[in-house]
Structure 1
């Protein structure tokens, strides 16, 4: 078994940093929109993209890559990407791959810095929101349902991020329920 090339290691790290800071995916994982194994699904997603680039190399088709991002977000996390973030993520992935194949890791370092900045800011805001004085918020995956003020309905999973209250269905005079698209979460 051959040792993994440093360029491949750097590329995978870059993809991890990028996916950990991708707002839509981060919300999906934090909110467990993919179920209790959302973290594992994100890790599988990362491996799938790394494998895709390993197979295609420099022959990656941008539209195919965007379709894969959209499909996995929809299938695994029930998210319809209406913000076109798949286009941005696709461009960054292609740039990251190109740089890593040339032994340049500047973008990896930038993504690492951005990811750390985002996770640090979120940890700080969670602590303020929950009134925690602890600096160690890596324990956020535990069951903190007793600390939440939001009432959970059947089918919703508890998570560290508060959820909006479920709105009552809109039923017209013929008894048909109006389907309302979920808005973007911010």
Structure 2
């Protein structure tokens, strides 16, 4: 493997394991071409770093922030921008100082799986499949009982609220359980005191 392809692979590994970018691609924040934009980002980062000798991690962090904002409509404020920029700059230093064994070892230690390397849309994943997964999850969640007692009906508001009261949680009336819009409101109440 050439030094340039190893450097490209190192940037690709860091960016493909960056959660903010993975989520932006998974949710198509950058539109239909989100995956292509993520791949472009790898090449653009490599080109910028190889053509310029004095790029520091703060500049790279600002570049990544601009790309995430303009191309993916995402604001990254979890601190990961600095971490990603620092790691890529570290790899760039090793690349420019011909420490290729060190770079290769570091890249091999990075996790391989990501949403960017998984199947492309249309390869088994469809909106219908996702909807089915969501409805199956909701059915499963609705089937869960709040109590360990399986003899009581699971969907009765009265039995659920009496079970909650027995377990030391304030009684929730049926009006609080499910509002008109389908959302369930849970309020914090006082626990019963033993005595």
Aligned equivalent of 2:130: 148
Q: Which has the higher contact order (CA 8 A, sep 6+)?
A: 1
**So what's the TM-score if we normalise by structure 2?**
0.59
Following superposition, the deviation at residue 97 of structure 1 comes to 0.8
Residues 16, 22 of structure 2: 8 Å contact kept: yes
Structure 2: runs of 5 or more not aligned: 136-180, 182-195
**So what's the TM-score if we normalise by structure 1?**
0.61
CA offsets, 1:9-63, max 9 Å, x none?
Answer: 2111100111111000011112211111111101111111111111212x11332
Give the distance between the partners of 1:43 and 1:78, measured in 2 at CA. 17
Residues 99, 105 of structure 1: 8 Å contact kept: no
Structure 1: runs of 5 or more not aligned: 123-136, 152-167, 169-186
Give the distance between the partners of 1:76 and 1:61, measured in 2 at CA. 22
Q: Which has the larger radius of gyration?
A: 2
Residues 17, 111 of structure 1: 8 Å contact kept: yes
Q: 1:56 aligns with which of 52, 58, 66?
A: 52
Residues 12, 50 of structure 1: 8 Å contact kept: yes
Show the 5 A alignment for 1:13-162: 13-57=9-53, 59-101=54-96, 102-116=98-112, 118-119=113-114, 138-139=118-119, 141-142=121-122, 143-149=125-131, 150=134
Aligned equivalent of 1:126: none
Instruction: Flag the 1:73–1:144 CA change in 2: closer, same or farther, 3 A.
Output: same
Across the aligned residues of Structure 1 and Structure 2, the Cα RMSD in angstroms comes to 2.5
Comparing 139-148 with 59-68, which one deviates more in the overlay? 139-148
Secondary structure, in 3 states, of the residue corresponding to 2:52? helix
